[in-house]
Structure formats: structure tokens, C-alpha cells
Amino acid sequence: MSAVMQISQPNAALRSMTRADLASVMEVERAAYAVPWTEGIFRDCLSAGHCCLVVDRTGELIGHAVMSVAVGECHLLNICIAPQAQGRGLGRRLLRRLLALARRRNADTAFLEVRSSNRGAIALYQSEGFDEIGLRKAYYPSAHPSDQRREDALMMARAL
């Protein structure tokens, strides 16, 4: 996707991620997650042709998202807004854009996994029509270095 779309924040636009964005994407990723993806994972997602978007505020990247779409399904793999830009509607806009792109690619169901402790993200997904469809026990490494226990993943889905 090459079109640039204005979103809620003035001067913030959604556009496709490129390899040149990866250093900035990693800054946001590390700031927002206790257990961030590596740059290699983002590279693999770009190579695989996944839908990879960034939120670009006049040259400053303040968010990103990655989604795979295949055989009538889309999987939301990452959605992330920089901590200083959270709570202003950007996550919701990014999610809605991904789902619109998935519909255009003929997906009829959207799936995602989320840490069971991630109340903010779960509230966002529920308010956008996602329902809980299962639990993956001990799916994520602990978000706390001193805690060896792994965390459950909530599996969620919605029809498109």
C-alpha cells in the first residue's frame, strides 16, 4: 500500500513500512514492549510480504503494525504506538486501517493473540468487535525479567 492517509492527529499519516524505517521502528518497539521483536523479525515480515504499516508524524515514526493475510484470514501480529503518543486514538485508527486492508484482500476473519495482562489492548480489541476464542497457556515469556513464569495468551477473533 503506497497511499498516505491522514489520521486523527494532525500531521500523522499511515504509510507502508520500508527497510529504511527499521531503526526508528525498533526504537518505538523497544520503548513500548517489555519483550520487543527483533529487527530480524520485522525484516522477515517485510520479505514475506506481510502488511506492514507505520504511523509517520512529519518524519517521526510513532507507531507501527504488522498483519499477515492469507486464505481468507488475517492475523494481527503486532500493533504498537510509542508510549508518548498512546491514548490519543492512534491505536484504534491503525487497527481499523489494517482490518480495512484485510477486507480488501478478501479476508473474512481476523485473529490475534494478546497477553492476558494487557488490559488496554484487550479493551481496544473488544471495543472493535473481537471476541475471546481461546487461551494459549504459557505462550509469552514473562514481561518481568525477575519472573520466570510465562504468561498466557488470549486468542481473539472477529468476522470481517
Ligand X SMILES: CC(C)(COP(=O)(O)OP(=O)(O)OC[C@H]1O[C@@H](n2cnc3c(N)ncnc32)[C@H](O)[C@@H]1OP(=O)(O)O)[C@@H](O)C(=O)NCCC(=O)NCCS
DSSP H or E segment with residue 92: helix 90-104
Active site residue 113: yes
Measured distance CA(124)–CA(47) in Å, rounded:
29
- Count other Cβ atoms within 10 Å, centred on residue 34: 12
Q: Is 156 in the site for ligand X (CB under 6 A)?
A: no
Which stretch in 19-27, 36-44, 48-56, 86-94 sits in contact with ligand X by CB under 6 A?
Answer: 86-94
Task: Report the candidate in 3, 50, 42 with the shortest Cα–Cα distance to residue 19.
Answer: 42
Selected from 92, 101, 157, 158, the binder of ligand X by CB under 6 A is: 92
Instruction: Tell me how far apart the 2 most distant CA atoms of the chain are, in Å.
Output: 44
Which helix (H) or strand (E) covers residue 41, if one does?
A: helix 39-47
**Nearest by Cα to 90 from 119, 126, 122, 55:** 55
Could you tell me which stretch among 41-49, 67-75, 119-127, 138-146 binds ligand X (CB under 6 A)?
Answer: 119-127
Q: Which is nearer to ligand X, 106 or 126 (CB)?
A: 126
Residue 68 interacting with ligand X (CB under 6 A): no
* Least distance from ligand X to the Cβ atom of residue 34, Å: 9
Q: In a 3-state reduction of DSSP, which class is residue 139?
A: strand
Closest-by-Cβ residue to ligand X is: 91
Give residue for cell 524505517: 21
Stretch that binds ligand X, among 36-44, 45-53, 79-87, 97-105 (CB under 6 A): 79-87
When binding is defined by CB under 6 A, the residue of 18, 33, 109, 129 that contacts ligand X is 33
Residue 33 known to be catalytic: no
* Binding footprint of ligand X on the chain (CB under 6 A): 32-33, 79-81, 86-92, 114, 118-121, 123-124, 127
